[in-house]
Amino acid sequence: MSSKVSLTRYLVEQQRIDGHIPAQLRLLLEVVARACKGISMAVGKGALGDILGSADSENVQGEMQKKLDIIANEVLIEANEWGGHLAAMASEEMEAIYVVPNRYPQGEYLLLFDPLDGSSNIDVNVSIGTIFSVLLKPEGAGVSEQDFLQAGTQQVAAGYCVYGPQTTLVLTVGDGVAMFTLDRERGSFVLTSEHVQIPKDTKEFAINMSNMRHWDTPVKRYIDECLQGVEGPREKDFNMRWIASMVADVHRILTRGGVFMYPWDKREPEKPGKLRLLYEANPMSWLIEQAGGAATNGQQRILDIKPGKLHERVSVFLGAKNEVERVTRYHSER
């Protein structure tokens, strides 16, 4: 890989060589990256800025918002609303879609995001991130929530930015997965890995074990077999990691392999899962598939799910292909 390829150059070359990134999409991705730089700066201030703690408000999911949830949401909206590349945005932190105001030109793309994923980790200085997904607005006048209800296979770009010891932007436009590390001195994202691939097998799983007693039988079976180690049917010892930031757990999996699960459980049986389909599961599932992994909800490929509503939730099993296929098979065998 040639040294010091900036995100801008990578996108220009994608546009030029493959022709599958139209100029407006390139602009959109650059703007998202710029917003992520702004969020990274805010995150880095920690207790020195007015960013930690609760905002004393609830989002549409009934979850308490942190100050940084709201700041990150505003940064993304302000960066993206005026460029002319978007028709509307949707966010974990907003009940309704945000239509680009009339004073700005309207573009043909829709941007969805979880502005600050892993909110419970903000105040304790553990990795958090921004997740985003880009769709094309269906033809027709105006824009409505219905326009966002597209299967994950329709995404034209997806990615996340993880704010950890390093700030790393991870992106797919359907041509593999590329990672860009923020060069803090230069203020630009630099390409640091390309054609990322996840091994098909793994000895590392990520799940919140404290929910074990609430899990469904297939999930209990899968984890129980992992825990039996070399003496059990898997005949190998497994390691466990759980960061409680999907962004950071997925980043570890894209970097060194593994499998991530946030299944349906009996705590709130009417909800299909905790994570949101359109701006968490779909972009992550596409990245994982682009890296040779798999992603299902236990029954079907996540990217094939036709969403019924904007903030729809879903069970998530993603990562190493053979492990995801195994736990999915356990769901069909019960």
Where along the sequence are the contacts to Mg ion (CB under 5 A)? 114, 117
CB of 91 to Mg ion, least distance (A): 11
Query: With respect to Mg ion, which residue has the nearer C-beta, 69 or 323?
Result: 69
**Nearest alpha-carbon partner for 90 in 60, 106, 111:** 111
| Chosen from ligand AHM, Mg ion, none, partner binding at 293 (C-beta under 5 to 8 Å by type) | none
- HSE-CB at 205 with a 13 A cutoff on CA atoms is 24
Give yes or no for residue 127 binding ligand AHM (CB under 6 A).
Answer: no
Instruction: Please report how close the Cβ of residue 42 comes to Mg ion at its closest, in angstroms.
Output: 17
Q: Which does 63 bind (CB under 5 to 8 A by kind): ligand AHM, Mg ion, none?
A: ligand AHM
Pick 114 or 289: Cβ nearer Mg ion: 114
Whether the CB-CB separation of 81 and 90 falls below 8 Å is answered with no
Q: How far is the CB of 39 from ligand AHM (least distance, A)?
A: 14
**From Mg ion, ligand AHM, none, which one binds at residue 120 (CB under 5 to 8 Å depending on kind)?**
ligand AHM
For residue 324, which of 233, 199, 239 has the smallest C-alpha distance? 199
What minimum distance in Å lies between the beta carbon of 162 and ligand AHM? 11
Report whether 82 contacts 136 (CB < 8 A): no
Pick the closer one to Mg ion by CB: 117 or 323. 117
Nearest Cα neighbor of 199 from 254, 281, 160 is 254
Of 73, 202, 245, 297, the one binding ligand AHM (CB under 6 A) is 245
Tokens of 309: 């509503």
# residues contacting ligand AHM (CB under 6 A) = 13
Considering only residues 18, 50, 58, 63, which one is a binding residue for ligand AHM as defined by CB under 6 A?
63
Shortest gap between Cβ of 118 and ligand AHM (angstroms)? 4
Q: Select 69 or 147, whichever has its Cβ closest to ligand AHM.
A: 69
CA distance 227 to 220: 10
> Residue 260 forms beta bridges with which residues?
206, 318
CA distance 20 to 304: 22
The one among 117, 147, 289, 323 contacting ligand AHM by CB under 6 A? 117
Identity of the residue, 126 or 136, whose beta carbon is nearer to ligand AHM in the bound complex = 126
Nearer to Mg ion, 30 or 114 (CB): 114
Give start and end residues of each alpha helix (H) in the chain.
Answer: 7-13, 23-45, 67-80, 217-227, 246-256, 282-290, 321-333
Residue 242, token pair as written in the block: 């759980």
The secondary structure of 185-232 as a DSSP string is TTTEEEEEE-S----S--SEEE--GGGGGGB-HHHHHHHHHHHTGGGS
User: Do 275 and 131 meet the contact criterion of CB atoms below 8 Å apart?
Assistant: no
Of the pair 183, 312, the CB lying nearest Mg ion is at 312
Least Å distance between CB 333 and Mg ion? 31
Residue least distant from Mg ion (Cβ): 117
For residue 112, what are the CA distances in angstroms to 154, 161, 211, 278? 13, 14, 29, 7
Q: Site residues for ligand AHM, window 266-295 (CB under 6 A)? A: 274
Contacts with ligand AHM, residue ranges (CB under 6 A): 63, 92, 114, 117-120, 208, 244-246, 262, 274
